[in-house]
Amino acid sequence: MTINNNNIFGAFTLNEARGSRLTGDWLNKESVANYGWFGGGRINSSPSIVTATVNRIDFSNDSITAQSRGSLSTIRLVHAATGNSNYGWFGGGATPVSNTSETVDRIDFSNDSATASPRGPLSRGRQGPSATGNSNYGWFSGGYILPLAYVSTVDRIDFSNDATIPSPRGPLSAARYYHAATGNSNYGWFGGGWLPGSTATVNRTDFSNDSVTASPRGPLSSARYLLTATGNSNYGWFGGGNTPGSPVPQNIVDRIDFTNDTGTAVARGPLSSARFSLAATGNSNYGWFTGGAAYPAPNLQVSANVYRIDFSNDTGTVPVRDGTLSNSRYLHAATSGVLNIRRQKAGNYGWFGGGSPGPLATVNRIDFSNDSSTASPRGPLSLARSSLAATGNSNYGWFGGGAPATATVDRIDFSNDSPAGASVRGSLPLERSQHAATGNSNYGWFGGGTSPATTVGTIDRINFSNDLATSSPRGLLSARRFLAATGNSNYGWFGGGAVLLPSPLDTVDRIDFSNDLATALARGPLSATRYGLVATGNSNYGWFGGGTPFPGVATVDRIDFSNDSPSALIRGPLFTARQQLAATGNSNYGWFGGGYGGGAARTTVERINFSNDSVTSSTRGSLSPGGRYDLASTSNTPT
């Protein structure tokens, strides 16, 4: 829906955009994680054409033109949006009814061809707010009202009761508008904007204590307004924008490290074109920046382009995709169905493969929802081996290396894991065993081990979307074997191990997935030295369990991913002391299976409850057909 209205929108001029002080019903809940919705804004370069159209980008196929879906309830611009896995909320801005609108529209992602439904309004009308949220609430901050007055107000929408007026929460540290926001499940970061005068200030709202004033954090690398932002669980990327008096918009992209947000944001690869008044959203691994405007004055050059940032490789120039919005636009807003999903790890199965005595090609699958029964045999690996490593995403699991010395990588198709078994993919660049692996949705990192008898510190990366190619060598970690690894969507932690047996280590190294050519950083150590241990984790913590000195230990250490410089904390032990076991998990639990302990190969599987990890793990079902050690495991649990 697009209309011309000179009376309402003719006053929103180029000068104001520069900051002057003028007066799909077929979607299901699983598939919404693959899309982004971009709504409203001004199209082309006319000051009188504003739209209510909503475009939907298919993240898995962003080389085609975005689809037009149902519209917002009314045309609007300079508004903000956030959402969860079911709905998107577009609020504030300017509409035909009011130049400072309090209207909130809700898009139903599972029925996005319908017109958005008006929900409870914001506490006050405003243009130029920003918004972020978690799975339960959305926070709309700042903006301005006419006649021009800046506000620091933060409104919180209760997604489960969104027909009511949102409740005012603690304000920003200063009134501002034309700023940008992103966040994770615990905090929201609001950066840049106009005070008056552009600012680099970043405020952080603690979602669990949002009645207090937002706290100033480290600034952006430069002051700007009319920028946009997106992020994942660990970082936020702020891109584009404008600066006072400049005829040239910015292509800057700044990255905030959520675990270290007191420092100045780091400049990453710029956008390939300078833009202001663009909109952005994303998933765990990529961010999509769309539209925006540029000069030369007096006519704006409005774009329909879509730019995609690869979060794991964000130092290069951000490229334009082949796909575009359905029309050129700016001053629009965006959200996606992955804002909640990306912060959860909700896999329902775990696969345990290979091992000794043997070696073995056996693969067992544990049903997490029925883990008291014996694991079911699935199709085997392509060759028998032990001392291998594994990682995966929501669709596939990759098992790499092992002994006898091999560089082979097998891929298990989780949707078809029997009877054919794993398929051989591209190999590791060198034979290795006694190594460890972790990954995110797009890549897997295999580090350490022996090759074949020399302890190594190299890291190889598998590109899941091109896994027939040989994996690429990346940076280094401290050389060792019989180590363990886990991670979240942005980092991997490699802990324990030994350079020479039997001399265990407590070393923990952290790989930055977005800068993985650099040498891994040493973080806080484990509580004690050991090798032959394993690890699993969720988005916030990693649990390292078992290991040796012989005949095995039951110790479980927990690393806090947001504060990984102290020593790991000791949590409840495993029920059975063991070494050379395997582990995997989801958001709520970790399963530790097999290993060698008590003088025998173990068949039992134990489960750690992450929300109550100070107690001893509980014994669940068993692997089949018998005990084994030096095996590997993964799950259909995206990070």
- Residue 244: predicted pLDDT: 73
- Residue 176: predicted pLDDT: 95
Half-sphere exposure for 323 (CA within 13 Å, toward CB):
19
- Residue 9: predicted pLDDT: 42
Pick the closest to residue 582 from 628, 639, 548, 617 (CA basis): 628
More confident of the two residues 340 and 120: 120
Asked whether the beta carbons of 623 and 352 are under 8 A apart, the reply is yes
User: pLDDT digit string (tens) for 143-160?
Assistant: 998 777 899 999 999 988
Strand ranges, E, within 33-183: 35-39, 42-43, 49-51, 54-58, 67-69, 80-83, 87-91, 104-108, 117-118, 130-133, 137-141, 144-145, 149-150, 154-158, 167-169, 180-183
Cα distances from 50 to residues 25, 72, 572, 594, in angstroms, run: 26, 12, 59, 62
User: pLDDT digit string (tens) for 418-445?
Assistant: 888 999 999 999 999 999 999 988 899 9
Task: Using CB atoms within 10 Å of the CB of residue 45, give its burial: 0 to 12 exposed, 13 to 18 middle, 19+ buried.
Answer: middle
User: Per-residue pLDDT for 410 more than 80?
Assistant: yes
Burial readout 111-136 (b: 16 or more C-beta within 10 A, e: otherwise)? ebbebbeebbbbbebbbbbbbbbbee
Domains of the chain (ranges; CATH) run 2-342 (2.120.10.80), 352-635 (2.120.10.80)
Token reading at 119: 């929900």
Task: Using CB atoms within 10 Å of the CB of residue 222, give its burial: 0 to 12 exposed, 13 to 18 middle, 19+ buried.
Answer: middle
Q: What 3-state DSSP class applies to 158? A: strand
More confident of the two residues 345 and 214: 214
Pick the closest to residue 82 from 133, 31, 142, 18 (CA basis): 133
Q: How confident is the model at residue 197 (pLDDT cuts 50, 70, 90)?
A: confident
Q: How confident is the model at residue 173 (pLDDT cuts 50, 70, 90)?
A: very high
User: pLDDT digit string (tens) for 48-87?
Assistant: 689 999 999 998 889 899 999 999 999 999 999 999 888 9
Burial readout 508-520 (b: 16 or more C-beta within 10 A, e: otherwise)? bbbbbbbebeeeb
User: Per-residue pLDDT for 634 more than 70?
Assistant: yes
User: pLDDT digit string (tens) for 557-598?
Assistant: 999 887 899 999 999 999 999 999 999 998 889 999 999 998
User: Per-residue pLDDT for 365 more than 50?
Assistant: yes
Can you tell me the mean pLDDT for 2-18? 37
- Which value, to the nearest 10 degrees, does the dihedral of the CA atoms of residues 205, 207, 208, 213 take? 30
Cα–Cα distance between 228 and 179 in angstroms, integer?
A: 7
Residue 40, Ramachandran bin (φ over 0: left; ψ between -120 and 50: alpha; else beta): left
In the chain, pLDDT over 90 holds for what percent of residues? 68
- pTM strictly above 0.75: no
Cα–Cα distance between 83 and 162 in angstroms, integer?
A: 12
User: Per-residue pLDDT for 21 more than 80?
Assistant: no
DSSP 8-state class, residue 453: S
Q: What 3-state DSSP class applies to 201? A: coil
Residue whose entry in the numeric block shows the structure tokens 């027909």: 163
Residue 274 has phi, psi (to 5 degrees) of -75, 135
- Residue 48: predicted pLDDT: 62
* Mean pLDDT over the full length of the chain: 89
